[in-house]
Structures are given as structure tokens and as C-alpha cells.
Amino acid sequence: MKLLLADDDPITLDSLAACLEPEGFTSVLARDGAEAFALWQQQRPALVCLDIMMPRMDGYEVCRRIREQDASVPVLFLSAKSEEVDVVVGLRLGADDFIRKPFGKQELLARIHAALRRSQKNGGSGRPRAFTMQDIMVYPHELRATRGETEMDLTPREVSILQLLHERAGEAVTRDELLDRCWGLQYLPESRTLDQHIAKLRRKVELDVENPHIIETVRGMGYRHRVSAAVG
């Protein structure tokens, strides 16, 4: 999933991209407001993160122009400007959230997930359909899964892993297939990276990580979704 990040500080931009990439997001970077708006028009990312004080065009103006053309794409302000008036101006221009710098990685990810969920609930035909895996329901475009009343936030990469295993239910999916589909050939991660992601994902979706019934290890090959396993 592609996100547009705009900030005139290259260190901040690189830090944001480094924070989001392991979660499966692809970052499009802009160092001023005019570049941010041009990139938004060209690439139509799923979400936009804007600093306020930027050269050529400030974040407020970028947000205003985006809202003239698209009322649904989530727009978040990430800014050291934290006076109430700054927040009010941003929200009145149509921003979905205002995150004050400095902020932590987990807060940023939580706000992004929440904004994406709200966006997908409010529209969007042609999005991937929800699907079940044993006792959980996965909502790909909302980046979440549910088990009864319990909700689980998922990263785009975790959704990709579950989608592939669901598509190939009952079959062993090799590590190479998972890496190619969920990371891409350009990234070329190690198998250990995949195993670490599976372990993290199991902690979210399995009732018992020591006896998984959704993602089963196939020794020497990869992983499999156990379609016939009994729950509980």
C-alpha cells in the first residue's frame, strides 16, 4: 500500500519511510508542498502525511487542493505546530488527523491504520473482499481481522501473507513464493525475515501459537493454511 510523505527535513522523511517499510507500506517522498501535490496527482496514494511548514506550498494549501479533487483519501498532518488554532485549521481544511511531533512509531502506525479503516468503511467499490480463515474474518483493505468481538490490526504485508495462504488453502506455500508475493523481487529478504513475520502474525491470529490452526509450518518447505483443523 502506497503512502505519500511530505516534509522539508530529509532526515524526518527517511525516518518515516524506515518506520513504515517493515510494515509493508511503500513510501513516496516529497520535500516541499508543490512536489507533494504533484506526486499525489500522479500516484494517488492510499494516504497522505503532511508537514505544515514547507517551501513553495505549505501543508495547509496541499490539503486544500487535495480536498478539492478527492474527499475520501486520508490526510494526516505531522507537525511541530501544536497550538489549538493549528489543529483547528488543519481539521477544517479536511484533514483526518493531526499528530504532534515528536511522536512514537506505534502512535504513528495506529493513527495510519485508523485513518485507512475509516476511509475504507466510507466507500470504495472494487476493493478486495473479506474472507474467512477458520474462526477469523480478514478485511484486507481495512487492514484488520476479527474473531468474534475481538479486533486485530494487520499490516499490509500481514494481509498479503494471509491472502496468499487463503488462496492456496490446504497447499504448502514455499518460502520463495511468499517472499516473491509479499515482499517483491526487488527486496530480496532472507527466509529468517519471513519466519519472524509469521511468528508475529501468529501472535495476532492464533489462539495458541504453540499449536497453530491457521498458519501451519510445513518443514523444509514453507507454510500452509490448515483448512480442516478443528478450532479450540
3-class secondary structure, 133: strand
> In Å, what is the CA distance from 23 to each residue of 27, 46, 225?
11, 15, 22
**Residue 82 has what DSSP assignment?**
-
Q: Would you state the cell numbers that stand for residue 185, as one nine-digit string?
A: 523481487
Q: Where are the beta strands (DSSP E) in the chain?
A: 2-6, 26-30, 47-50, 75-79, 97-100, 131-133, 136-139, 144-147, 150-153, 173-174, 216-218, 222-224
Q: Which helix (H) or strand (E) holds 91?
A: helix 84-92
- Size of the chain, expressed as the number of residues it contains: 232
Give tens-digit pLDDT for 145-196: 999 999 999 888 898 899 999 999 999 999 888 888 887 654 555 667 888 8
- d(Cα 100, Cα 169) in Å, to the nearest integer? 43
- d(Cα 119, Cα 142) in Å, to the nearest integer? 8
pLDDT value at 82 more than 70: no
Look at 108-122, 168-182, 198-212 and tell me which has the smallest mean pLDDT: 108-122
**Average pLDDT, integer, range 78-94:** 81
Residue ranges of domains in the chain, CATH in brackets: 2-121 (3.40.50.2300), 131-224 (1.10.10.10)
pLDDT value at 38 more than 90: yes
State the pLDDT at residue 116.
85
